[in-house]
């Protein structure tokens, strides 16, 4: 798993985003100093098909990836609730970054669903681990799964089957990677080229 907290601790200077999220995924080096940034938050927003402003959103998980997701969605103006298997972690995250903890979320109350847990990374059944059933997904939902691989995750496969809008973790990876590349090079990133390379 990424060492984003450790990366942050190595840096001499921090971007506001990295400091507030408490994690860094991009380090740059200049004048003998290490500067830390976090492109995960904006990468998520760039991957969404439309603005999250005003969207009722459920974030699953309370780890490092969830921190970036919650930070981004709160600042975009979404209504954010956070569920985690250990409720106290969700409560702690919300106290730090905003949003409200959710103990028994009902998917009918949300428009945007973001899985930032590791469920599915090893092929697990997400519906055995997460707080809803396949039948709770609706066509009006936008479902983001940060877990990615060669095939669509089981969560996204189920969402696609009922006609929901889906965002694969690979697209989020490409978007945050493009932002990192721009930090390193000072040039616009070729997002289309990067996306094709990942898919190939």
**What are the tokens at 60?**
């699953």
Residue 55 is a catalytic residue:
no
CB-CB contact of 150 with 180 (8 Å): no
Cβ atoms 121, 169 nearer than 8 A: no
Question: Could you tell me which of 39, 22, 21 has the C-alpha nearest to residue 189?
Answer: 39
- What is the CB neighbour count within 10 angstroms for residue 58? 24
Is 178 within 8 Å of 191 (Cβ atoms)?
Answer: yes
Catalytic residue, from 1, 2, 3, 4: name it: 4
Active-site positions read: 4
């Amino acid at each position: 798993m990424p060492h984003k907290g450790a990366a942050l601790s190595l840096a001499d200077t921090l971007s506001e985003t990295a400091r507030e999220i408490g994690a860094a995924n991009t380090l740059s080096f200049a004048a003998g100093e290490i500067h830390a940034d976090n492109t995960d938050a904006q990468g998520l927003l760039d991957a969404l098909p439309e603005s999250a402003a005003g969207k009722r959103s459920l974030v699953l998980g309370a780890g490092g990836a969830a921190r970036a997701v919650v930070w981004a969605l709160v600042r975009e103006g979404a209504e954010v609730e956070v569920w985690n298997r250990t409720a106290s972690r969700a409560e702690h995250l919300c106290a730090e970054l905003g949003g409200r903890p959710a103990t028994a979320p009902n998917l009918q109350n949300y428009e945007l669903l973001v899985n930032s847990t590791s469920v599915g990374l090893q092929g697990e059944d997400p519906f055995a681990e997460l707080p809803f059933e396949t039948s709770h997904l609706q066509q009006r939902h936008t479902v983001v799964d940060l877990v990615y691989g060669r095939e669509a995750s089981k969560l996204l496969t189920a969402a696609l089957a009922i006609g929901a809008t889906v965002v694969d973790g690979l697209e989020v990876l490409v978007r945050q990677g493009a932002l990192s590349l721009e930090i390193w090079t000072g040039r616009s990133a070729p997002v289309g080229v990067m996306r094709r390379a990942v898919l190939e």
